Amino acid sequence: MKFYTEPIEKSPRIQKLIDALYEKMPQIEADRAVLLTESYKATEGEPIITRRAKAFALGALSGLVEPIAAVITMLFLRESSGAMPVLLAFAAGAMLYVVVEELIPEMSEGEHSNIGVIFFALGFSLMMVLDVALG
């Protein structure tokens, strides 16, 4: 049996893929690591199912602010319903931004990361204009 001890030459394509992989290596933020460590210390000795149930409950509670804010907004806007379309448009725009910037990671890669978001917004706006114009 013969063992190869010399490095195997890589094609430029393979080297480019390897470089891209190392460039995008996941990194953990220091704050997140501290919170994760504190969480594990606080729930040390508990079964994993209990830990996950607590994480799910806290995640669900963090979303509770939305219906509460919606009720408050409806109470304040009962008299002036003209502001509701503007507020809903703002909320929709914020949600689209979050989806494009955070959930589609390819949009925020590279030097000019805002170009993808801007073109997404332009394309979406054009689609809406055509939808209204052409019925």
pLDDT tens per residue across all 135 residues of the chain: 667 677 778 888 988 888 888 887 766 667 777 777 888 788 888 898 988 888 888 888 888 888 898 888 778 877 767 777 888 888 888 888 888 777 776 666 666 667 777 888 888 889 989 999 997
Confirm whether pTM is higher than 0.75.
no
Q: Give Cα 106 distance to the centre of its chain.
A: 12
Model pLDDT, residue 73? 79
Q: Which tokens in the block code for residue 42?
A: 């606080």
* Domain ranges within the chain, ordered by starting residue: 81-135
Which region holds residue 122: left if phi is over 0, alpha if psi is between -120 and 50, else beta?
A: alpha
Model pLDDT, residue 112? 65
Closest CA to 73 of 89, 63, 84, 86: 84
Q: Which tokens in the block code for residue 18?
A: 């390897």
